[in-house]
Structure 1
Amino acid sequence: MPSKMDRTIKVPQESLRWKLDPATLPFETTDDLEPPSDIIGQGRGVEAFRFGMGMDRKGYNIFVTGPAGTGKMFTVKKLLKELSDDRATPDDLCYVNNFKHPESPVLLRFAPGRGAAFKKAVQEFLDNVKKEVPQLFESEEYIARKNEIMEAHEKQVREFYKGVEEKVKDTDLVVVNMQMGPVQRPDVVPLVDGEPKRMVEVEEMVEKGRFPQEELERLKQRRLEVKEELDQIVIQVKQLNKEVKDKSEEVDRLMFLALAREHMQPLRDEFCQGDNAEKIERHLDAVLDDMVENMDALKMLGAKPQQAGPMMMMAPPPEVVFHPYQVNLLVDNAEQDGPPVIIESYPTYRNLFGSIERIMDRNGGWRTDFTKIKAGSFVKANGGFLVLNLMDAIMEPGVWQTLKRSLKTEAIEIQTFDPYYFITATGLKPESIPMQVKVVVTGDPRLYHLLRHYDPDTQKIFKVRADIETSMDRTDENVLQVARFVRAVVQRHEHKPFHASAVSRITERAVRMAGRQEKISTAFPRLSDLVDEAAYFASRCSACDTVTAEHVEQAVEAKIHRSNQIEEQLQEMIDRGSLFVDTDGSEVGQINGLAVYSMGDHMFGKPSRITAVTSLGKEGVINIEREADLSGPTHNKGMLILAGWLRRMFAQDKPMALAASIAFEQSYGGVDGDSASSTELYALLSSLSGLPIRQDIAVTGSVNQKGEVQPIGGVNEKIEGFYLCCKRAGLTGRQGVLIPRANVKDLMLRQEVVDAVAEGRFHVWAASSVEQGAELLMGKPAGKRGKNGNYPKTSIFGRADAALAEMAEALQKFGKDDKEEKDS
C-alpha cells in the first residue's frame, strides 16, 4: 500500500509533460499559413538593435550576445535588411598618386558610381595622350616651329664666328674646329704655308730653323688677342644654346599642354564639382605638371630603338610611362542601392582592413605604389554596416587592436599587418580614410563580460548590447509563430507540408529545449534542423503527402541514436553489473543519486550510487571526492551546506561528535554541481538512524541550510535515465524518481515515461523539504521537536539525534578515560 507521504508528494500524470493538441491549432497543414514577417521571440534584443541602429553617434556600435544556436546571425541579417533600406548610398573611394610625396597617396571621394566613371575618364585621357603625342611631335607645325628656332640660332652663331673670321682674315691666323673628346670647339691656330698648324708644330719648326722666332712671337700675341674674343664668343654660344634648348622645351611644353588640356577639359567639366572639386582639380593639375616634367619619356612613345654606343636604347613601354597617372578605385558603390551590409565570415587582418601589396622587380627588390593599396571589408562597409563574429576576429593577430583604434578615431590608415615590420616596411603611408561605419559583432555573453572586464575600450566602442533571448513565453500567439516558422522552413527548402500533428510535436520539442513548461525555446536553427530531418523521413514514405508527428518522432529518435553511443555503453555496464546500481530492495547508508552527462550534442542522465559511513570522531562531514581532488567548487559548497543543516538540526544542545565520509562510488572523472546534496544528506541520515533507504527510488535536488530542496538542471534527462535502468532491470511498479517540487514545471518527459507513470509501472515524486524526502525514502516520519526540545524516538530525526548524542557521550567518556590513564 502506498504511504500517505507517497500519495501526498506524487506528481500527477498531467504534470509530467505539456501537450499541444493538434485540434486546437487553427490550420490543418502549414500550407494554410504565411511565413512570419517579424523576428520571433526577440522583443528585447530587437528593441536594443533598433536603438543602436538609430544612434548615429560615436561608439554606438552593437554587440549581439546569445548562446550558440540561437540564430544571432540570422537575426542580425534580417534586422539590417529591414533597417538599412532608407539610408543613402556612401561615396566611392579612390587613391591617386601624390607627385610631390609619392609615399603618401591622396584619397579622392566621388558620388556613388562616379569613382568608376572617373577612373574610366582618366584612362580615356591617357589613351588619347598616348595616341596623339607621337603625332604631335611629328606634325608639320611642330617641325616648322623647331626649324624656325634652330635656323635663328644657327644664323646668330654664324654671325658670331663671322666677326672673328673677319679679324683674322688679313693675318696669318685661321679659325678651326678642334676635337676635344666627344665635342668640337673653335680655336685659333697659325696659318703656315697656307695650312693651319698647331702652336706646338710651329714651335718645333722654329727649333729646326724652318720658321722665324720673331714671327712666332708676333703670332702668339695676335692669337692671344683673338683667342680671348673667341672664348667670349664660345661662352655666348653656350648661353645661346641653353636659350635655344629652353625655347625648344617651352615649345614642347606649350604644344603638349595645349593638347593635354584639350583632352582633360571634359574631365574637369564632369568631375570638378561639389564638395571635392578643389581636391580633384589639384590632382588633375598635378598630373599635367608631372607629365611636363617627364616630357622626354612622353616624346619617346612610339619611337624606334636607337643605337647609343654599344647599347641599344629602348623606348619605355606606355604602361610604365602612364602608370603614375592611373586611378586606384578602392571602393566602388556603383551597384550599391543603399548602405553596404557586409558580413565578414573570415575576419583576418587582410580581409578586414585591406593591405598594401608588393611586387618583386627584375633586380630582386620589393617595391610598391599607390595602385597596390587594397581595401578590406571594414573600408568597403564605410557608410554602412559590418557584421562579424567577434571570437573569430579576436583570434586573428592585430584585428582587435586595429578595430578598436579605427572605431575610436573614426578613421583608418590602410597598412599591411606585418609583425616583422622592421625588416619588411612597405614604404607607403596612404592618406587616412574617415570612417562612418556601424559595426555589429556577435558573441556569447561570457566573451562580452570578459572584454568589458579586461578591456576598458569595449564599453567605449560597443555601447549597445542586444541580448538574444533563449526562450519566449508559451502563449497561443507564440505557438502560432512557431508554426509559421515551420512554414518558412518548408517553403525555403521545398519540403512536403507539415501536418498540424507534426507542428505540435515540434512545438513540444521546443518547450523541452527551453527547460520550462511555460517557455518555448528560440533556438530556431536547431528547430530548423528538426524540420529538415522530419521532412527527410517523410520523403522516404511515397504514400505520405504530409509530414506527420510520427516523422518528427523518427527524426528525434534518429538524432538521439546517432549521438548516444556513450549512454548505451554506460547502460550496458549497469546491466552487466560492472557499475553498481540497485533498482530494488533497501540499504542503510546507500542511495541512488542522479547525474547528467553532456556530450555536446546529446545530454543524458544516469544513476550513481552514493554511500555514507558515520562513526565517532571530530572530523565532521568528509567529502571523499574533495580529498581525492575530484570535487568541483560547487560540489564542495553543497557538502558544506549539508554540514550546516546537520548542525542546525542536531548540534544545538550538544557538540557534533561525528566523522562521516560520503562518496560517489565508482566515480573517477570528477564531480561538480550541488544537485546531489539532498541525496547525500538522505544517505547520511540513513547511516545515523540505521534506517534503510529504498533502492528503487533515485533522488536529485540540492538543499539549503534550512532543509529546503532546491531546483536543479537536467531533470528530464535524470528521470529518463533512471527509468531506462529500471526498464532494463524489470519494472516492479514501485520504482521512481524523487525530484524537487520547484522542478515540476520543468517536466517534459518522453511519452514512454509518461505512459509508464499512467499505467502505475513508474512514479515521479516531488519534495519541497528534506522531511518529505526522508519519509518517502525510509518509510518513517521525519519527526519534529517537541516541547521538551527532543524529536520522537522512533522518528528519523529522533534516531539520528540519539545516535549523535551517544557519540558525543562516548567521545566525552573516551576523553576522560584517556586522561585518567595518562594521569595514572
Structure 2
Amino acid sequence: MTVADPLPPERLHTPCDPAALGFQSSDALPDLDAADIHARAVDAIRLGLDIGGEGYNLFVLGDAGSGRHEIVTRLLEDERHEGPPPADWCYVWNFDTPSHPRLLTLPCGRGPGLRDDMQRFVEELMPAIAAVFESDEYRNRIEALQDEAKQREETALRQLGDEAQTLGIALLRTPHGFAFLPMKDADSTLSQEEFEKLPEERQHALSEHIKTLHERMHRLMNEFPRWRRELQNRIRDAGRDALGATVTHMIEELKLRYADLPEVCAHLDDVLRDIIASGESLHASPRNEDDGDTLTYSGSISVQRYLVNLLVANPADGTRPVVYEDHPTLQNLVGRVDHLVHMGTLVSNFTLIRAGALHRANGGFLVLDAIKLLAQPFAWEGVKRALKSGRLRIESLSELIGVAGSVQLEPEPMPLTLKLILIGQRLVYYLLGQYDPEFAALFRINADMEREIARTPDNTAAYARLIATLARRGGLPPLSAAAIARLIEHAARLAGDAERLSTQTQPIDDRLREAAHFAGAAGAPCIERVHIDAALDAHRRRHERIRLHYQQEILRG
C-alpha cells in the first residue's frame, strides 16, 4: 500500500518577494486602468459600442467587485464624444386630436430655446389679445356691424308695415310680438264691433290681406336668426382679421428663428390658425394663474396649450448621453404621464408628460443592472418592446394591468436609437439565454470579465500598479513594496490558486482602506505590511464565527 507524502504547509502558499517587484514605494508606479486586466472583455465592449445594427446591445458578465461598472463608465466616456449628435425632443398640443400629443424633433441644444420662446410668446399673447378686442377701432367696427344688422331688420319691418298701410292695415308692436289690425284712420284701428259693421266683402278682403301679411311676417321672422348668425360670423371674422394682423407678426418673428426647422414652422402655423380661430374664446375665458392646472386633454381653451413640453434636452456640443438608471421601474424607463386633481376629477395634459431613462438616453447609451431590471414588474418586457419596435411608447402601469380609471393620454411614440448595456452576473446571462427566446436577438454582444489571471511576472507587476492606482484614487497613503507584496499574496488566496490572481478589485480596495486606517492610527507615513496584516486579521476575525463553530464541533466529535 502506497502512503501519500505529507503536503508541507509552505506548498499551500507562494510568497511574493518584495525585492522582485523592483520598487520601494507605490509612488514610483504609474497608474494602471482596470480595463488592462480585462482586455478580452474590453475589446468586446468596444466592438458592441462601435457596431451598428439592430440587436447589437451589450451584456457585461462579471462578478460583483470586478470593476465592471468602472470599466464600462470609462469606455462610455470616450465613446460618447463619437457618433452623430443626439436630438432634443418636445411634446406639443395636437390641434387635431388633443388626446394624442405631437412629438417634435429638434437638433441638440435647440429645445430649451424653443421652450423659452413659446413661454414668452404665451406670456405676451393674452395682453396682445386683450389689446385687440378692447381697442376703439375694433369696438367701432363691431358697433358698425351691429348697427348695420339692426338697420337691416328695422328696414325690413318698416317696408312690410308700409305695404300693410297701403292695404289699410296697421302693423303694431305688442308685448307678445307683432300684430296686424284693420285701420280706422291714420292714428287708430278698428275695434271688433266696428270691423263687424263693415261690408262682408270688405271684411273678407281685409282678412285675406292680414293672412298674407302674417305669412310674410312669419317668413321674415324666420330670416332674422339667419341674419343674426351672419352678424356673429361677421363679428367673428372681424375679430379674426384684427387678431390675425397682431398675432401673425408675433408668429413670423418666431418662424424666422426656426426657419431651418420645417417641423417647428408647421407647428407655429397651427398655433397661429388656432389662435385666430379661438381668439375670442381665449379673451372671454377667465384669466388666472392656474390655467395650466385646468388645461385638460379634452380641449379647454387656454393659452397654455401653446407651450412646449421639453422632454429631453441634450448639450449643444453634440455629446451623446450616458444614462445610469439605478431604479429601473417601468415608469422610470419608459416615462409617465402625471395627473392633477381638478374639481374632483383626475385630468392630464401634454405638459405633464415626463421622460424616462430610455428617453434621456436616446441617441446615446443606457446602463442598467440586470438583476434590478428583472426584479421590477413589467420593466423587462417594456424594455424589450421598445428595443424590438424601435419606438418608445409611454405605457401606464394601471393600463397594463387593466385598472385604468380615466381616459389616458396617448403621446406620439418616440423613435428609439440607443445602446443598452446590461451589467450582471454570469448566471443571469445564461438563464436569460436559456429561458427568454428574444434575449439572444436583442443582446448579440457579451463581454465576459476575467475572474482571475495567471500569476506571471508581468501580471504580478501589473497587479502592483493596479494596487497603487487604487490607493491613489482613494486618496490613501502610499504603500511599501512589502505591503503590495502581501496584497498580491492575498489576491492569490482570493483566487483559490497559488498560480492565479483574483481580478476582484473591491476586496483589495476594502483591505487597502482598512490598512490605511491602521497606518493612520499608528502615525505611519505609508502603509506597511504590518498594516495589511492587521486589516486581513480584522477581516478574518469579523467573519470567523461560523468557521470556529465548525472547528469546535469537529473537535468535539
**Residue pairs, 1:263-302, within 5 angstroms:** 263-274=250-261, 277=262, 279-300=263-284
Query: How many Å apart are 1:376 and its aligned residue?
Result: 0.6
Determine if the alignment matches structure 1 residue 345 to structure 2 residue 337. Answer: no
Query: How many Å apart are 1:519 and its aligned residue?
Result: 1.7
Determine if the alignment matches structure 1 residue 26 to structure 2 residue 22. Answer: yes
**Counterpart Cα distance in 1 of 2:259 and 2:326:** 39
Query: How many Å apart are 1:17 and its aligned residue?
Result: 1.8
Query: How many Å apart are 1:236 and its aligned residue?
Result: 4.3
**Correspondence for 1:386 among 366, 369, 373:** 366
| 1:95 partner SS | strand
Structure 1 residues 346 and 423, CA gap change in structure 2 (3 angstroms): closer
Judge conservation of contact 2:108–2:318 (CA < 8 Å) in 1. Answer: no
Query: How many Å apart are 1:336 and its aligned residue?
Result: 7.0
**What is residue 340 of structure 2 aligned with on the other side?**
359
Larger helix fraction of residues: 2
- Please identify, of 74-83 and 223-232, the stretch whose mean Cα deviation from structure 2 is larger: 223-232
Judge conservation of contact 1:134–1:301 (CA < 8 Å) in 2. Answer: no
**Correspondence for 2:449 among 448, 452, 468:** 468
**Residue pairs, 1:40-189, within 5 angstroms:** 40-169=36-165, 173-180=169-176, 185-189=177-181
Judge conservation of contact 1:330–1:375 (CA < 8 Å) in 2. Answer: yes
**What is residue 234 of structure 1 aligned with on the other side?**
221
Root mean square deviation, CA, Å: 2.7
Where has structure 1 moved over 6 Å in runs of 4 or more?
A: 192-197
Judge conservation of contact 1:94–1:328 (CA < 8 Å) in 2. Answer: yes
Judge conservation of contact 1:356–1:426 (CA < 8 Å) in 2. Answer: no
Determine if the alignment matches structure 1 residue 212 to structure 2 residue 197. Answer: yes
Code of the residue aligned with 2:479 in structure 1: it is F
Query: How many Å apart are 1:517 and its aligned residue?
Result: 2.2
| 1:56 partner SS | coil
**What is residue 468 of structure 2 aligned with on the other side?**
487
Structure 1 residues 45 and 495, CA gap change in structure 2 (3 angstroms): same
**Residue pairs, 1:257-336, within 5 angstroms:** 257-274=244-261, 277=262, 279-300=263-284, 319=292, 320=295, 321-334=302-315
**Counterpart Cα distance in 2 of 1:538 and 1:316:** 63
Runs of 5+ in structure 1 lacking a partner?
A: 304-314, 581-824
Determine if the alignment matches structure 1 residue 406 to structure 2 residue 406. Answer: no
**Counterpart Cα distance in 2 of 1:519 and 1:161:** 111
**Counterpart Cα distance in 1 of 2:513 and 2:184:** 117
Judge conservation of contact 2:86–2:318 (CA < 8 Å) in 1. Answer: no
**Counterpart Cα distance in 1 of 2:178 and 2:315:** 68
Code of the residue aligned with 2:313 in structure 1: it is D
Judge conservation of contact 2:195–2:203 (CA < 8 Å) in 1. Answer: no
Residue deviations 1:522-571 (CA, integer Å, cap 9, x gap): 000111111111111111112x1111000001001101111111222233
Judge conservation of contact 1:130–1:301 (CA < 8 Å) in 2. Answer: no
**What is residue 375 of structure 1 aligned with on the other side?**
355
Code of the residue aligned with 1:296 in structure 2: it is E
Structure 1 residues 13 and 408, CA gap change in structure 2 (3 angstroms): same
Query: How many Å apart are 1:156 and its aligned residue?
Result: 3.2
Residue deviations 1:716-750 (CA, integer Å, cap 9, x gap): xxxxxxxxxxxxxxxxxxxxxxxxxxxxxxxxxxx
**What is residue 483 of structure 2 aligned with on the other side?**
502
Code of the residue aligned with 1:30 in structure 2: it is S
Query: How many Å apart are 1:280 and its aligned residue?
Result: 2.6
Query: How many Å apart are 1:18 and its aligned residue?
Result: 1.4
| 1:28 partner SS | coil
Judge conservation of contact 2:482–2:528 (CA < 8 Å) in 1. Answer: yes
**Residue pairs, 1:402-801, within 5 angstroms:** 402-418=382-398, 419-424=400-405, 426-542=407-523, 544-575=524-555, 579-580=556-557
**Counterpart Cα distance in 2 of 1:406 and 1:239:** 55
Query: How many Å apart are 1:326 and its aligned residue?
Result: 1.9
Judge conservation of contact 1:384–1:436 (CA < 8 Å) in 2. Answer: yes
Code of the residue aligned with 1:433 in structure 2: it is M
Query: How many Å apart are 1:159 and its aligned residue?
Result: 2.8
RCO higher in structure (CA 8 A, sep ≥6): 2
Judge conservation of contact 1:300–1:316 (CA < 8 Å) in 2. Answer: no
Query: How many Å apart are 1:89 and its aligned residue?
Result: 3.0
The alignment of Structure 1 onto Structure 2 pairs a total of residues equal to 546
Query: How many Å apart are 1:260 and its aligned residue?
Result: 1.3
Judge conservation of contact 1:175–1:189 (CA < 8 Å) in 2. Answer: yes
**Counterpart Cα distance in 2 of 1:559 and 1:335:** 49
TM-score by length of 2: 0.90
Query: How many Å apart are 1:439 and its aligned residue?
Result: 0.3
Residue deviations 1:15-50 (CA, integer Å, cap 9, x gap): 332122212223222222232246131011111111
Identity, % of aligned positions: 27
Residue deviations 1:62-90 (CA, integer Å, cap 9, x gap): 01112233222222112211222223431
Structure 1 residues 34 and 178, CA gap change in structure 2 (3 angstroms): farther
Structure 1 residues 5 and 63, CA gap change in structure 2 (3 angstroms): same
Judge conservation of contact 1:172–1:191 (CA < 8 Å) in 2. Answer: yes
Runs of 5+ in structure 2 lacking a partner?
A: 296-301
- Please identify, of 164-173 and 122-131, the stretch whose mean Cα deviation from structure 2 is larger: 164-173
Code of the residue aligned with 2:283 in structure 1: it is K
| 1:39 partner SS | helix
Judge conservation of contact 2:240–2:277 (CA < 8 Å) in 1. Answer: no
Judge conservation of contact 1:89–1:340 (CA < 8 Å) in 2. Answer: no
